[in-house]
Structure 1
Amino acid sequence: MPELATSSPSSAFPHLLSPLDLGPFTVKNRLVMGSMHVGLEDHAKDAPKLAAHLAERARGGVGLIVTGGCSPNLSGRLTPHGAQIRPGHMDAHLLVTRDVHEADGRIVLQLLHAGRYAFHPLAVSPSGGRSPITPFRSRPLTRIGVRRTIDAFARAARAGVEAGYDGVEVMGSEGYLLNQFLAPATNRRRDRYGRTAEDRRAVPLAVAGAVREAIGPRGLLTYRISLQDLVKNGQDWDEILALARELEARGVDVLSTGIGWHEARVPTIATSVPPGAFVDVTRHLREQVSVPVVASNRLHDAHIAESVLADGSADLISMARQLLADPQLPRKLEAGRENQIVSCISCNQACLDKVFVGERASCLVNPRAAHETELRLLPVPVQRRRKVAVVGGGPAGLEAAISAAERGHTVTLFEALDEVGGQFLFAARIPGKESYGEALRSWRTRLVAAGVGVHLSTRADAEMLAGFDDVIVATGVRPRVLDLPGFAPPADPAAASGPGPRVLSYAQLLSMPRERALAEVGERVAIIGAGGIGVDVAEFLTAPLPSFTEDLPAWRERWGVVDPAERRGGLAVRERTGQAPTALLERSAVPTEVHVLQRRTGKIGKDLGRTTGWVHRAELRHAGIIEHRGVAYRAIDAAGLHVTEPGTDPGAAPTETVVAADTVVVCAGQESERGLVDELALLEDGPRVHVIGGADVAAELDAERAIRQAVETAAAL
C-alpha cells in the first residue's frame, strides 16, 4: 500500500493556501466552491439540509462559497418551482448564511436569470425563440421588461446582503440571459440593447451597476463572465475584453470565468476533457484586467490548481464537483494529506445528471454530499465497536471498509486479486476515463489512513470469516455467459483460438494492457452489447494513443476549440463531408472495422448519462463505428458472428447477417458473485451478513448505488 504524504503544506501549495484581499474582505485561501445547484435551493423546507451541506464545506476550510443560482424574478426561474429571491421571504437564506458564518466561512449569493433556458412557459430572452435544450419558446423582452429585469436584480441583491450573504455573484455565463444579450447568436434586437456590440453589453453592464449600488461597498460583487461561448456567432475576444474592463468600471470586485453554453456541442467538464483545458484563455483575461480572476473547469487536482496560480494564469481556483466529493479538501492540503483527498472523477452521474431531471444531487464517490443530515457517519463508543470483515476490494468494498473503520470499528478487507479496485480497474483503462485511476489511488491511501487491515490475493471463505461480528459481502460481478452456439471464451485470454473469431469477455479484454490488446484483436472486432461497458470497449479499441484527454492540442482540434480571438465563440468552422472521419485511425494502430451490436432498436448509448452520453456517442461517430440495432444473436463459427437484423424497409422480413470479425468481445451484462453468501448462511451463530454492490444487484454496474449502499451499511453498524 502507498505511504502517507509527509510533505509540508506551505511548500507544496503556497499559492493555493495563501490569503487574498478581495476588497470588502480577505479570503483565507484561493479555493472557491463554485456555484452548483444541488436541488435543495428551490424550497424553504430544504433550507436546513442546504445549510448543513454548505456549512460542512465551510468547516472544511474553503475560502469562498457561491450558492446555486437563484432567479431575481419569476420569469428567470430555471424551472416552474425553481429558486427565486423574494424580498420579505428570506428566512431560509438567513439559516444558510448563519450556519456558514458560524463555520468560519464566507458565502455569496448567485443571481441567475435563465432567459431562454427556462423550463417553463414564462421564459423570456433578448429576441425570443427556443433554445435546443428546452421545449418552451421564449418571448422577447420589451424595453420596459428589460428595465424591470434590471430592477429585479438590484432588489434581489439587496435582499441577499440583508439576509447575511457576504456579496453577490451575477451569472453572466453558460448561455443564461445576460450571456444571451451579449452574443449575436441570440441577440438580434434593433434597439439600443442589440444593434452593436456596445449595445449588446448594455444590459449586463446595467445589471452589474445596479447590483453594485444595491449591495453597497461592503458587499463583494463577482461577475461570472463567459470567455468562450463555444457556439456559432458567440462573442469574440475584443467584445469579451471590453465587457470585462467595463465591468471593472462598474465596481465588480472579481471576475469568475465560465466556459461554454449548455447547448454547446463541446464538452467542458466531462471526465474526457483534459485538466486545465481552458487555462490559456483565463490567463489572457487576467493579463488585461486589474481585479482578481477565478479559473474554472476541470481543475480538480490540487497540484494543477497550484501551478495555475503559480504561473499567474489566475488568482483563485473554482472547484464545485471536487468539493462535493471531498468537503475537507482545503484542510487536507493544509495538513499535508493531499493524497487522501477523495477524487472527483467528473462522471456527473450523481450530481449534474440528477439535477437535470429534477432530483437532488449527490456524488458518486461521496454519497453524503447534499445528504449530510440523513447519512451520518458518527463515531461509535468503544463498547459498541465491532470486528468487521469486508470481502471484495471494488468501489463498494473499499468505501464500506473505510467508512466503517473511520467510525471506529476494527476492519479487515479481503481481496482475491493482487490489487484492489474491482471494476474501476477496467474503467481507468478506458481513454477519457483516466481520472478513475485517481479515485483508486485515493482509496488505497485512505485504507492505510483509516487503519484497515488489507489481505490481497486472498479468497475468503466462511471458515475464515467465522470469527467476525459482521461480514460485508462486496464480491462484485462476473461477465454473463451467453447461451449461444460457438460461444466459449477461453479461460486464458492469451490462449490460442480455434477456427473463427477469437471470443473474449470484456473483463478479459480490459485486463490486458491497451497496447497489447490493440495488437491482438485484429483488424475487425464485433462487440456484443451496447450498454455502458460496450461503449467503453468501443472507445478502448478506437481512441488514439495517447488519448485526447492526455493530448490537449489534439483534443482541441478534435472538438474544434480555438482562441476566441481567432473566431467568434472560440469555435472552429467544420465542413460536413458526409464521410466517416479517419483522424483516429491515422493517429494509432487500432482496428479498422469495429461493429457494435445491441438487441434494442434504440440508438446506441441511449441510456448513458444525460450530460455525458452525447460525448460518448459523438466519439463513436467520429471513430466510424458500425452500428447494428435490433439484432438477434444466432451463433459464432468460422465465418464470424451470425445475427438476424431488421429489414431495411418498413414491414420487411428480418435478414440473416454474418459479421466477419477477428475478435468478438462480449459485453452482454453481468451476474452477481454470491457464492460466499450461501456459504455464510450455513454457519451456526455466524456473523451478521450484509450484501452490497454488484453482489447484491448486478444490473448496469451502478457504482453510485454500490457506493451509497456501502456507506449506508457502514453507518448502520
Structure 2
Amino acid sequence: MSDRRGRTFEKLLSPIRAGVHDLRNRVIMGSMHTRLETEANGIERQVAFYRERAHGEAAVIVTGGFSPNAEGMFDPEGPRLDDPQQALSLKPICDAVHQEGSLICAQICHAGRYAKFEGCVAPSPIRAPINPYSPREMSEQDILHTIEDFAQAALNAQSAGFDGVEIMGSEGYLINEFTVTHTNKREDKWGGSADNRHRFAVEIVRAVRDRCGPDLLVIYRISAADLVEGGAPAEEIAALARKIEAAGADILNTGIGWHEARVPTIAYPVPRGAWRKAAANVKAAVSIPVVASNRINTPEVAEDILASGDADMVSMARPFLADPHFVKKVREGRAHEINTCIACNQACLDFIFSDRPASCLVNPRAGREMEFRDTPSETPKKVAIVGGGAAGMATAAEAARLGHAVTLFEAENRLGGQLNLARAAPGKHEFDETLRYYTAQMDRHGVTLRLGCRATADDLAGFDHVVIASGVTPRIPDIPGIDHPKVATYAEILCGAREAGQTVAIMGAGGIGHDVAEFLVTHPAEANENAAFFDTWGVDGQFRNAGALAGDPLAAVPAKRKVVMLQRKTSKVGQGLGISTGWILRNALRKHGVETLAGVVYQRIDDGGLHVLSNGETKVIAADTIVLCTGQEPVRTLVEALAARGISATMIGGAAEAAELDALRAIDEGVRLAQSL
C-alpha cells in the first residue's frame, strides 16, 4: 500500500489507437454480469451505472454478456442481442456513455455448455461439472447458424449505438469450448487439429467484421490460460491470436481460467497482477493491442504492467464497482483517494449467483446509483460517531462529504476495528486499502478524529445525532475449562497477542474459523508471492503448458501446523461460506491438511486438550492451543448511559447485530445512515 501522491502514471493515461478509434487512455472497464437488466427499471438503472463509469473516464466500457441467440443464454431470462428492436432499447445506455466521452462495446457471449437449461449446446456432448444439464452436440448447420447469429448480433449492437463488440472467446464458454481438446472431440472440420478447433472462432470474427465494416471496434477475448486439463498450450494460443488478428479483430483481451477450473483466478487469494505473463505471451504473437486482465486493482499494478511491455492496455471490471472514478482520480492526481477493490466477491459475484443485482462491499452505491444523492445536506448536523471500524468510518466519511460536522471517537489508537483482524488473514491484506481510502476521505472532508478516546456520555452531549458503531467482541462459551491457559480468542491470534502452538483445535467453523485456520497453516509468502501461489495451485508460471497447469491444483502442500476445526452444526463444514470463494478456502485448508469435525458437543477443556462428544463417542482433541471462533457479542456499553441522559443514538454494524465480521453490512448501513441524516 502506498500513498500515491505525486505519481503521474503516464503510461496508464496515454492514448492508444485501436482500429479506427483513438482511445483516451489504456483502461478498459471489463465485462461484468450485473443483472441490472432484470430489474423493472433496468434500462434506467443501467444508464445510471454505465454513465457513472464513463464519467470516471474509462476509455472503453464493455457491457455484461448478451447472447447471440436463444441457445446461448445463461438462463431462460438472460439478455439477448438477436432482436433488432430489443437492441435499440439499449440506445440510451450508449448515449449516456458517449456524453461522458467514453466508448462502449457490447459483449456477445454464447454460454455453450454452461447454459442453465435443457437443450444447451456444445461442440461435443460433454456435461460441464458445474452444470446439471448435458449439452447437445452441435451439427454443422447449428455451427453455421451460430456464426451468422454472432454477426447479426454485432450489427444489431452497432445499429443501437455501440461503438464495438467484444466476442467472448474465453472462460469456458462456447467459442472457448471449440478451441481445446478438453471439450472438443469432433472429427469433422470443426475439430481435431488446432486449425480445425480454431475455425469457429476465426469465422465468427471474420463474419462480424464483414457484416459491420471497419468502423466497429472488434475486441476478441482470448483464453490466455485455460487452467483445465486438455486446455491450450502457449503455441496454440499464440497461433489462435494471429488468426484472430488476421480475421479483423482490433484488440485482444485476455481471459484467465474456466469457470470449472480448480484454480482461483480473481478472488483475494490471487496475488495482484498474477496473470500478466499470460498476456505477455499473447502480446508477443501479434501487433494489435493486447489487454491484461484479472486482479489488477491499483494504478501502480496497472502502470507497471504497461510500462514493462507485458500488455498495451489493462482491463479492470470489479475495480470500477469499487470506484467508478478510478481513472479520473488518477488523472487529477488523487490516486490516493481511489476506493480499491478487495477481491472479496461478496456483493458482486455472490449476489449474481444468488439472483440479485451486483453491488460492491466497499461501495454500496454500485448498481444502486439511483438510490443515493450527492447534494450536500440542507440542514447540516453535528454528528458524533463512536467506533472507528468499517461501519463508523463509512458513516463518518459519507456524512462529512454531505456537509455534516463529524467527530469520530475510537478507543484504540488506530482506525479499523475488526478490519484489523480480517486483514491478518492470508490474502485479506487488501483491507489495508480500505483503511487507506477511508482515512483519505475523512481527512479530505474534515472529520475530527479522537483516537485513543473511549467516549463517555459526557463526551456525546451536545451533538445533534449520535451513532454507535462500537462493533463486537468475541463470545466466550460457557464450558468447563474455558479459562485454561491453552485457550485463546480469534482476536488474540489474529492481532498477534497470542502465538499458537504446533497443534491447534479451532472451536467454530464459520468464516472466522476458516480464516484463522488458513492463518495458522499458511506460510506468509503463500498469500503474497506469485511463485508460491502458482506452486500451491499447480499453475505453470510461464503459461507454456497445456492449460497452463504444472500439477494437480488439489495436491497437498506443507503446512505450518496441525489444525483441527470443529463445529456444533451437523451440516457440511464451510457450507455457509461465500458462494464464489468458499470452494477456494475449503480446498486451501484441505491441501494444508486441516481436519474438520461436525456435529460435536463441547464438554470441557483441560491439560489433555478439548474433550468433545462426536457420534455418541467421547474424543479428546489434543492441542497446544484452542482457539475460540464461537461468535461475537455486540459492544453496547454506552447505550444505557446515553438513554439515562436522554441522548438518542442509532446503532449500526456489529453493535446493532453481532454476526461474523460483516463488513458488507457495516459499510452499507453506514453509508445509508449518513445519507438519511
- Normalising by structure 1, we get a TM-score of 0.92
Residue of structure 2 equivalent to 1:643: 612
Residue of structure 2 equivalent to 1:442: 437
Structure 1 letter corresponding to 2:157: G
Structure 1 letter corresponding to 2:644: L
Answer yes or no: is the 8 Å Cα contact 1:564–1:571 preserved in 2.
no
Cα distance, 1:358–1:413 mapped onto 2, change above 3 Å: same
Q: CA deviation at 1:196?
A: 1.5
2:645 is equivalent to residue 683 of structure 1? yes
Answer yes or no: is the 8 Å Cα contact 2:554–2:587 preserved in 1.
no
Q: Which moved more, 1:265-274 or 1:43-52?
A: 43-52
Answer yes or no: is the 8 Å Cα contact 1:4–1:449 preserved in 2.
no
2:407 is equivalent to residue 412 of structure 1? yes
Say which of 10, 14, 22 aligns to 1:14: 10
Q: CA deviation at 1:191?
A: 1.1
Answer yes or no: is the 8 Å Cα contact 2:234–2:281 preserved in 1.
no
Answer yes or no: is the 8 Å Cα contact 2:5–2:336 preserved in 1.
no
Q: CA deviation at 1:603?
A: 2.5
Q: CA deviation at 1:43?
A: 5.9
Structure 2 letter corresponding to 1:463: D
Q: CA deviation at 1:602?
A: 2.4
Cα distance, 1:267–1:576 mapped onto 2, change above 3 Å: closer
Cα distance, 1:426–1:205 mapped onto 2, change above 3 Å: same
CA distance in 2, matches of 1:248, 1:576: 36
Runs (5+) with no aligned partner, structure 2: none
Paired residues for 1:306-345 under 5 Å: 306-345=303-342
Residues 51-107 of structure 1: per-residue CA shift (max 9 Å, x gap)? 100100100111110000110111100111011112122243111111111122211
Q: Which moved more, 1:468-477 or 1:443-452?
A: 443-452
2:24 is equivalent to residue 28 of structure 1? yes
2:382 is equivalent to residue 387 of structure 1? yes
Structure 2 letter corresponding to 1:677: V
Residue of structure 2 equivalent to 1:396: 391
Paired residues for 1:130-141 under 5 Å: 130-141=127-138
Residue of structure 1 equivalent to 2:537: 559
Say which of 483, 507, 511 aligns to 2:495: 511
2:558 is equivalent to residue 584 of structure 1? yes
Structure 2 letter corresponding to 1:558: T
* Secondary structure in 1 matching 2:563: strand
Residue of structure 2 equivalent to 1:696: 656
Residues 347-399 of structure 1: per-residue CA shift (max 9 Å, x gap)? 00000111122111100000000000113343223xx1111111111111101
2:150 is equivalent to residue 149 of structure 1? no
Q: Which moved more, 1:106-115 or 1:90-99?
A: 90-99
2:253 is equivalent to residue 291 of structure 1? no
Q: CA deviation at 1:320?
A: 0.5
Q: CA deviation at 1:4?
A: 7.2
Residue of structure 1 equivalent to 2:45: 49
Structure 1 letter corresponding to 2:65: G
Residues 455-477 of structure 1: per-residue CA shift (max 9 Å, x gap)? 10111122211111111111111
Answer yes or no: is the 8 Å Cα contact 1:388–1:412 preserved in 2.
yes
Answer yes or no: is the 8 Å Cα contact 2:273–2:294 preserved in 1.
yes
Residue of structure 2 equivalent to 1:471: 466
Report the identity percentage: 45
Residue of structure 2 equivalent to 1:461: 456
Paired residues for 1:629-668 under 5 Å: 629-646=598-615, 654-668=616-630
Cα distance, 1:575–1:422 mapped onto 2, change above 3 Å: closer
Cα distance, 1:35–1:387 mapped onto 2, change above 3 Å: same
Q: CA deviation at 1:627?
A: 1.4
Say which of 631, 637, 647 aligns to 1:669: 631
Say which of 565, 572, 586 aligns to 1:596: 565
Residues 290-346 of structure 1: per-residue CA shift (max 9 Å, x gap)? 000010011111101101100111111111111100011111111211111111110
CA distance in 2, matches of 1:392, 1:636: 34
* Secondary structure in 1 matching 2:623: coil
* Secondary structure in 2 matching 1:621: helix
Runs (5+) with no aligned partner, structure 1: 490-496, 647-653
Answer yes or no: is the 8 Å Cα contact 2:422–2:661 preserved in 1.
no
* Secondary structure in 1 matching 2:274: coil
Answer yes or no: is the 8 Å Cα contact 2:262–2:554 preserved in 1.
no
CA distance in 1, matches of 2:295, 2:245: 26
Answer yes or no: is the 8 Å Cα contact 2:609–2:623 preserved in 1.
yes
Residue of structure 2 equivalent to 1:708: 668
2:519 is equivalent to residue 523 of structure 1? no
Structure 2 letter corresponding to 1:701: L
Say which of 568, 571, 576 aligns to 2:549: 571
CA distance in 2, matches of 1:446, 1:43: 32
CA distance in 2, matches of 1:676, 1:467: 16
Residue of structure 2 equivalent to 1:65: 61
CA distance in 1, matches of 2:2, 2:293: 31
2:513 is equivalent to residue 534 of structure 1? yes
* Secondary structure in 1 matching 2:355: coil
CA distance in 1, matches of 2:590, 2:614: 20
Structure 2 letter corresponding to 1:201: H
Residues 538-591 of structure 1: per-residue CA shift (max 9 Å, x gap)? 111110132x132211211111111576421111244998xxx3x433xxxx33
* Secondary structure in 2 matching 1:69: strand
Structure 2 letter corresponding to 1:390: I
* Secondary structure in 1 matching 2:513: helix
Residues 591-646 of structure 1: per-residue CA shift (max 9 Å, x gap)? 3x211110112222111111111111111111111211110001112221111001
Paired residues for 1:354-373 under 5 Å: 354-373=351-370
2:143 is equivalent to residue 165 of structure 1? no
2:229 is equivalent to residue 232 of structure 1? yes
* Secondary structure in 2 matching 1:400: helix
Cα distance, 1:75–1:352 mapped onto 2, change above 3 Å: same
CA distance in 1, matches of 2:311, 2:340: 22
* Secondary structure in 1 matching 2:282: helix
CA distance in 2, matches of 1:346, 1:29: 24
CA distance in 1, matches of 2:3, 2:175: 47
CA distance in 2, matches of 1:3, 1:511: 22
2:179 is equivalent to residue 210 of structure 1? no
Structure 2 letter corresponding to 1:602: S
Structure 2 letter corresponding to 1:227: A
CA distance in 1, matches of 2:426, 2:412: 24
Cα distance, 1:576–1:485 mapped onto 2, change above 3 Å: closer
CA distance in 2, matches of 1:39, 1:565: 33
Answer yes or no: is the 8 Å Cα contact 1:167–1:219 preserved in 2.
yes
Q: CA deviation at 1:42?
A: 4.2
CA distance in 1, matches of 2:540, 2:4: 39
CA distance in 1, matches of 2:128, 2:586: 21
Paired residues for 1:76-95 under 5 Å: 76-85=72-81, 86-95=83-92
CA distance in 1, matches of 2:158, 2:554: 51
* Secondary structure in 1 matching 2:72: coil
* Secondary structure in 2 matching 1:698: coil
Answer yes or no: is the 8 Å Cα contact 2:262–2:553 preserved in 1.
no
Structure 2 letter corresponding to 1:411: V
Residues 238-289 of structure 1: per-residue CA shift (max 9 Å, x gap)? 2111111111111100000001000000001111111111111211211221
CA distance in 2, matches of 1:421, 1:123: 48
Query: Number of residue pairs matched?
Result: 676
